[in-house]
C-alpha cells in the first residue's frame, strides 16, 4: 500500500484507469470502477489525500484491494497484501465474467461488500500510522458509508424511498428506481463526483449532528442528490 500512498491523486486516477483498461478488461469489468474515478477526481480537485494522511491511506486501501483482486483472479499472484478486500474483488470479477452478476441487486451487493472490506482495511492502516479523520473528513466519510450501504441494500432503500420519498419531493417515489440506479451506478463517475461535492458541502457548512443509523444519514443527502439527478435528466433530454 505504501506505493499507492506515495502517489498523487492524478497518478492514482491514471493507475485506476490502467487497471480498468488492462487486467479488468479481461473479465469484462473495464467500466466497473468509474464511480471510484469520480471520488479520486474529487480528491484531486479539492487537493485532499496527500501522502501519509488519513484520506490517502483509506483511498490507497481501496485501490490496493482492486489491484490485488485482479492479480489474484488472473492467477498472477496469491498474496492479498493483508487486504480483506482483495479476495472479494477477485471473486467479484470472476463472477462477473461468468455472467453471474447481471442483475443489479446481486451485482451491487457484491461490489459494495468488496469495497467495504477494502475501505475498512484502509481505515485500519491509517490509524495504525497514527492518522485519524478530521471532523469534516469523518462527516464526508459517512457519505461513502451510506453509498456502500445503499449498494448492499437495494430492496430496503427502494422501500424507504417509496414510503418517505413524497415527504422530500413529489416525484421521488415515482422516480425512485431510476434515481437509485443513477446514484449507485458503478459505471459512471459523475454521480459520485456530484455526491461527494454535496457531502463535502454538508460536512463543511452544515454539520450532521444527532443522526444515527444509515437510513437517517441516507435521507440527509437525498434532497440535494435528487435535485442533481433531476438536473441531469433535464440536461440529457436537451441534448
* Range 131-153 average pLDDT: 91
pLDDT category at 101 given cuts 50, 70, 90 is very high
pLDDT digits (tens, 9 = 90+) for 59-91: 999 999 999 999 999 999 999 999 999 999 999
Residue partners of 225: CB distance under 8 A and separation at least 6 = 179, 183, 194, 195, 198
Has this prediction a pTM greater than 0.75? yes
* Range 127-152 average pLDDT: 92
188 and 112 part of one domain = no
89 and 171 part of one domain = no
5 and 99 part of one domain = yes
41 and 92 part of one domain = yes
Give the mean pLDDT of the chain. Answer: 93
pLDDT recorded at residue 203: 80
pLDDT recorded at residue 210: 45
pLDDT recorded at residue 202: 82
93 and 77 part of one domain = yes
76 and 89 part of one domain = yes
120 and 159 part of one domain = no
Following DSSP, what letter does each residue of 95-123 receive, concatenated? HHHTTTT-SHHHHHHHHHHHHHHHHHHHH
Alpha carbons 74 and 91: distance in angstroms, whole number: 11
Residue 55 has pLDDT above 50, yes or no: yes
Q: Which helix (H) or strand (E) holds 238?
A: helix 214-238
Structural domain total, the chain: 2
* Range 213-238 average pLDDT: 84
155 and 100 part of one domain = no
Domain ranges, residue 159: 133-239
Last residue of a domain, one of 78, 101, 132: 132
Amino acid at each position: 500500500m505504501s506505493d499507492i500512498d506515495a502517489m498523487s491523486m492524478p497518478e492514482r486516477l491514471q493507475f485506476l484507469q490502467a487497471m480498468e483498461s488492462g487486467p479488468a478488461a479481461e473479465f469484462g469489468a473495464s467500466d466497473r470502477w468509474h464511480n471510484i474515478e469520480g471520488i479520486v477526481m474529487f480528491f484531486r480537485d479539492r487537493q485532499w489525500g496527500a501522502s501519509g494522511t488519513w484520506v490517502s491511506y483509506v483511498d490507497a486501501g481501496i485501490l490496493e484491494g482492486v489491484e490485488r483482486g485482479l492479480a489474484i483472479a488472473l492467477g498472477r499472484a496469491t498474496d492479498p497484501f493483508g487486504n480483506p478486500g482483495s479476495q472479494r474483488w477477485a471473486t467479484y470479477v470472476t463472477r462477473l465474467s461468468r455472467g453471474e452478476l447481471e442483475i443489479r441487486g446481486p451485482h451491487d451487493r457484491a461490489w459494495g461488500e468488496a469495497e467495504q472490506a477494502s475501505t475498512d482495511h484502509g481505515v485500519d492502516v491509517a490509524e495504525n500510522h497514527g492518522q485519524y479523520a478530521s471532523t469534516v473528513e469523518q462527516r464526508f466519510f459517512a457519505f461513502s458509508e451510506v453509498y456502500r450501504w445503499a449498494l448492499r441494500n437495494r430492496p430496503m432503500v427502494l422501500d424507504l424511498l417509496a414510503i418517505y420519498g413524497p415527504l422530500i419531493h413529489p416525484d421521488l417515489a415515482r422516480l425512485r428506481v431510476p434515481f437509485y440506479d443513477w446514484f449507485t451506478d458503478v459505471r459512471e463517475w459523475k454521480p459520485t463526483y456530484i455526491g461527494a461535492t454535496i457531502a463535502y458541502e454538508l460536512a463543511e457548512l452544515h454539520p450532521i449532528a444527532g443522526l444515527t443509523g444509515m437510513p437517517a444519514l441516507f435521507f440527509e443527502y437525498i434532497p440535494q442528490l435528487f435535485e442533481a439527478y433531476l438536473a441531469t435528466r433535464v440536461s440529457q433530454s436537451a441534448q
